[in-house]
Structures are given as C-alpha cells and as structure tokens.
Amino acid sequence: MEERLVEVSNEEVRIDFELGRKCRANVSLRSLSSTTPIAFKLQTSSPHKFLVNPTCGIIPPSSQASFQIVLKPQTQLPSSFPRSPSDRFLIKTAPAPNFSSSDPITISSWFSSFTSTSDLKLKVAYVGLFLLRHAVSAGDIYVVKHIIKRQKSLLTQISLSDTESLLKTAAESCNSSSMISLLLESGLCVKPDSINAEPESTWMVSNGWTRIHVAAAFDRTEELLTLIRREEGGPLDLDCRDREGRTPLHLAASRGNVECATLLIEMGADKDAKSQDGRTALYRAVANGDRQMVALLIMMGVDPTTYTATVHDRSPIDVARDEGYKQVVEILERGESVLTAARRGELRDLKLLLNTGAITNYHDQYGLTALHAASIKGHTEAVSMLLDHGMDLECQDMEGHTPLHLAVEGSRLETVEVLINKGANINIKSRRGSTPLDMARALGHDCISTLLINRGASPPPPPQSPSSSSS
C-alpha cells in the first residue's frame, strides 16, 4: 500500500453553491513527515470551472499548508448534487528534502519530471441553502438528506426569513409531510406560529402524529402543558408513538426544544425510549451536535450508554466522537471519568466531577457503574461520596449484581458494612439467584458471612434428609 505523506482536512471538497457567483472552499494539508519537507501539486478534472490558489507548494515537516478552490460563476445548476462524479481534484505529493524554492513554476516543473508520487483524490460535493431550497421544492428527499448530512449546521444557522421560506417551500412540495418532518428532525428552527392548522392535520395523518407530537415538535410549551393537564378522554400517553416509533420527546430532542423536553421528562416520559431505528432522544441530540439539549438530557438522568439496535451498534458517545463534536464529547465523557475516578479511588477528581454536575448513572459495557467499581475495589470513601450524591444503592450490572454483591466478591469487609449501614438490601438476588451471603460462603469469606448474618441476612434452608422428606 502506498504510504501517505500528507493528511487532508476533508477528502470531499464541499462547495456552498449559488448561481452566478464565485463559490469558494478551503482545504488544509498536514504533513505526516517530521523530518522531510513535502511538495504538493493540485490538478483538477475541470480546469474550465475551477481555479486553485496556490496550485502547488512546500509543506515543512509536521506543518500545515492551505489552498483555496474557487468555482467560477455558473449559469446552471450542477448536473448532479450533492455529489459530483465529474468534478474531482488530484493532490500529488512527494518528499522534497533538498528543495528550497517556493516558486510555483519551479515546483510544478519539478513535479513534471518526478515519476514517483503519492497521490490523494478529492471528491466534490455541492451544498448550501440555494441547492437545499431547490431540492426541497423538487421534493427530493434523498438530496435533502445528503446536503444536510454534509452541512450539519446549515439548518440551525440560517435566518428566520430563510427558515420560513424553506418551510413554505417544503409545505408546497410533492412530499410535503415527509419533507417537513425531515427538516424538523434535522434541526430546522421554526417559531411556534409558523405552521397553520392544515399542514398540521396532514402530518398527523401521514406521520401518525398526535397533538402532543405537534406541540413538542413546534416548541409549543403552553399547548403541551394544556394537553398534559387535560383529563377528558382519559390520561394522556406521554410515550405515544408515530409511524416511525418516535415519541414526543424524540421530536423535542431532535428540534432542540429544551422547554418541551424538560416538561415531558418531568411529567414522566420515558427518557430512554427507542424509536424503530433504535435511536433514543439523546442519540438524536448528539447526532445534531446540540450541546444544550445533550446537557439537559444528561442532567435529567438519561442513560448515555444505551446502544442503538440498528445504527451500527453505536452509543451516543461513539457518535459524538465520530462527528468531532468536542463539547458534546466532553459532557458525555465526564460520566466515564466518574467511573474511572471511582475505580481508582481518586477522591479529589471524583469530588470535583460530582460537584460540577457530572453524571453518576454512566455504566460500561458490563453494566458496571462507579458505585460497583468503588465497591469491588474497597474505596469506601468513594462509595460514601457517590451515595451522598444520590447514586442508586441497588443499581445492578448485566448479571444483576449490586454494589453489595461486588463488595463481597472483592472481600471488602469495611465497604460491605458501609453499604449495609446506608440501607443496601442484604438479601437481594442476582439474576442467577445468588444473595451476597451465598457469594460470601462460596468464596470462603467467613468474616463477611458472619457480618451479613449478624445484620439480618437469611441463610439458605438446610438440605432435607431423605428420612424427613419421605415422612
């Protein structure tokens, strides 16, 4: 395999397209060599359409260089978008240990005589509000999805007037209900009164939305509260599902509607409900890079480690890392940091994390929480600190073990006593039916067995003799 000499900031050149105007995209190259300068030269498959500045250059060791791609003013839409199979760029690179000139003509001439180069291919994608509006008008769900995927911040950064115009265009398209749902799911911010009743009725029929779905989707907190309080017709189902299995909380989280999401959770909505595609409300907020919504959901006690059933088995933190949402990653990782600090007994770090609002309900792939980790390691002060911050004393891992089970397994007599004093269920059973006393006896922890019995543990009944069982 050919060894790469540089790393490109994005292997797809994304151009924010508008008719009749120059459109620009910046690309950065980072040298992967720590000792040798790297020469680069750009070539385009469409020189009649693109300008590149500079076309070539020298990158010092472990440094970066940038170039700008300019699309000349176009009188027609791209033949296909967002991907353009006919427009491409080739970056030719080669070590240049003895090359000192920065003159483009000299570098280009040097490349023409250089036979061995390491090459990178850049694809071109056309994005932006102009093309998005065109695709929405045409009812082209596929193109709209892929423009938004490549330009995630587009819908959240456009002006209010552009938002209303785009929404009106969507309402007039041939796939109006599906198109508007897609835009809302992807983060389009609309005012509560931006939609009239007629389109709402259409979406309610086509998407299976209830009034509570509509209120949550359009950030109508007062209407949502009225619906929740209304008693006629029986109690309101806060976890009602649309045709895609989405609850009102899914829609509120997808749209960044903090007040509606807060109200739904406070009134008892299932925080970790999954839609048909396996996504939770948190997953949707993370996928949108919505730091405020993610922070709210974490604070409200959602499970940040819930894996999706159909989206490549990725947890929310996997998505945040893959997408490069650093602030979201930081929020989610703090739960992981609590688990690590508890396992190591790092009391100062643990205290700082807990006092600054880090979550305590994070668990690893085995279902182990920070309290499990501190208990099996015998970090008694960490156990007390976690419990004082409201951690569930009876939390269970994948095998149904509580922290008390694991303190017994680790032969941590003092920790066992602390957990009992805090109110741990001394006779609780794991999924295999083992109590803490069963484990203590099986492992030969006599002192712990004695403590458990003295504190009220129920020993298993003695086996019956053959004579007594026959009588």
**469 pLDDT tier (thresholds 50, 70, 90):** very low
Determine phi and psi for 237, rounding to 5 degrees: -85, 105
Sheet holding 12-16, edge to edge: 12-16, 118-127, 83-95, 38-44, 56-59
**pLDDT tens, position by position, 303-357:** 776 665 555 567 788 888 887 888 888 888 788 889 999 999 999 999 988 887 7
The pLDDT value given to residue 470: 46
Of 286, 326, 318, nearest to 302 (Cα)?
A: 286
- Is residue 137 a contact partner of residue 173, using CB atoms and an 8 Å limit? yes
The pLDDT value given to residue 76: 94
Mean pLDDT of 4-12: 87
Average pLDDT, whole number, for the chain?
A: 86
The pLDDT value given to residue 220: 87
Instruction: Inform me whether the pLDDT recorded for 386 exceeds 60.
Output: yes
The pLDDT value given to residue 210: 87
Instruction: Inform me whether the pLDDT recorded for 425 exceeds 60.
Output: yes
**203 pLDDT tier (thresholds 50, 70, 90):** low
Instruction: Inform me whether the pLDDT recorded for 266 exceeds 50.
Output: yes
Instruction: Inform me whether the pLDDT recorded for 365 exceeds 80.
Output: no
CATH among 3.30.2310.20, 3.20.20.30, 2.60.40.10, 1.10.1380.10 for 6-126 = 2.60.40.10
331-454: CATH architecture: Alpha Horseshoe (1.25)
**pLDDT tens, position by position, 130-156:** 999 999 999 999 999 999 888 878 887
**pLDDT tens, position by position, 31-72:** 999 999 998 999 999 999 999 999 888 899 989 999 999 999
CATH among 1.25.40.20, 3.40.50.880, 3.40.50.150, 3.30.420.10 for 221-233+242-310 = 1.25.40.20
**204 pLDDT tier (thresholds 50, 70, 90):** low
The pLDDT value given to residue 277: 86
The pLDDT value given to residue 23: 96
The pLDDT value given to residue 466: 55
**431 pLDDT tier (thresholds 50, 70, 90):** very high
The pLDDT value given to residue 446: 94
**pLDDT tens, position by position, 207-246:** 788 889 888 988 889 989 988 887 544 557 899 999 889 9
